[in-house]
Amino acid sequence: MSQLRVKPEAESYLNTYEKLKEAIAGLTDEDLTWKASPQQWSITEVLAHLVDHSVIVSFRIREILSGSDVQLPIFSQDAWVAGQKANEGTAADAMQLFKALLDYHSALFQRLSADDWSKSGVNWKGEVISLAAVIHAFISHVETHLAQIDRIKLKNNEVRNSSCPI
C-alpha cells in the first residue's frame, strides 16, 4: 500500500522515536538514570512511561478501529513507572520497545482508509475522540516529555557544574 495513505499526524507520530533518540544522544547511563529528587523521574523513567503510554495508545487505536463502545483506558503513570522499577531498566531497552510499537503501527496506519481515521471512541472523560485525535494527543504528549528530558538534562548539568571539589 502507498505511503500516501498515512495521514500527516501519523508521519509525526512515527517520527517521535527519532526525536527521542536525538534528545538522549551522548548521554551516559548515569545521566539517563539521574534524578533531581526521589519523587521526580529520570530520563529512563520518562522513556519507560512513553512505552507504557504507547501500549495504552495501541489499545485505544484497536478499540476505536473495532467499533467498540468500551470507554478508552487510562493508566496510573506514576504507579506504573514505580511498580516496574523503570530506573533499574535501560533506556536502550525502552527505546527499542518504543520503536517496535511505532514500526508496528506504521504498517497498520498504511492500511487505514479515510473512514478509519475518522472513527472514534469515548475517552475516560466521556468525550468522543477520533483516531486522528488520539494520534495527535500522543504526539503532543511526547513533545511534553521531550521538554521534560531537556529540563532533566539541564538540571543534571547544573548540579554537576555547581559541585565544589573539596
What mean pLDDT do residues 99-107 have? 94
- At residue 163's C-alpha, the angle toward residues 162 and 166, to 5°, is 140
Confidence of residue 11 (pLDDT cuts 50, 70, 90): confident
Give the CATH number of domain 3-157; options: 3.30.1490.20, 1.20.120.450, 3.30.390.50, 1.10.3720.10. 1.20.120.450
Q: Which residue, 58, 29, 54, 51, is CA-closest to 42?
A: 29
Which of 150 and 132 is assigned the larger pLDDT?
150
Task: Report the pLDDT value the prediction gives residue 1, as an integer from 0 to 100.
Answer: 37
Percent of the chain exceeding pLDDT 90 equals 77
Which of 31 and 166 is assigned the larger pLDDT?
31
Q: Is the pLDDT of residue 6 over 70?
A: no
Task: Report the pLDDT value the prediction gives residue 164, as an integer from 0 to 100.
Answer: 59
Task: Report the pLDDT value the prediction gives residue 47, as an integer from 0 to 100.
Answer: 98
Domain boundaries, given as residue ranges, for the chain: 3-157
Percent of the chain exceeding pLDDT 70 equals 93
Task: Give pLDDT tens digits for 30-88.
Answer: 999 999 999 999 999 999 999 999 999 999 999 999 999 889 988 899 999 989 999 99
d(CA 41, CA 52): 14
For every residue of 26-93, which 3-state class applies, written as one string? CCCHHHHHCCCCCCCCCHHHHHHHHHHHHHHHHHHHHHHHHCCCCCCCCCCHHHHHHHCCHHHCCHHH
What mean pLDDT do residues 18-40 have? 96
Q: Are 56 and 74 in contact (CB under 8 A)?
A: yes
Query: What is residue 112's three-state secondary structure?
Result: coil
d(CA 137, CA 133): 6
d(CA 139, CA 16): 7
Q: Is the pLDDT of residue 5 over 90?
A: no
Which of 78 and 149 is assigned the larger pLDDT?
149
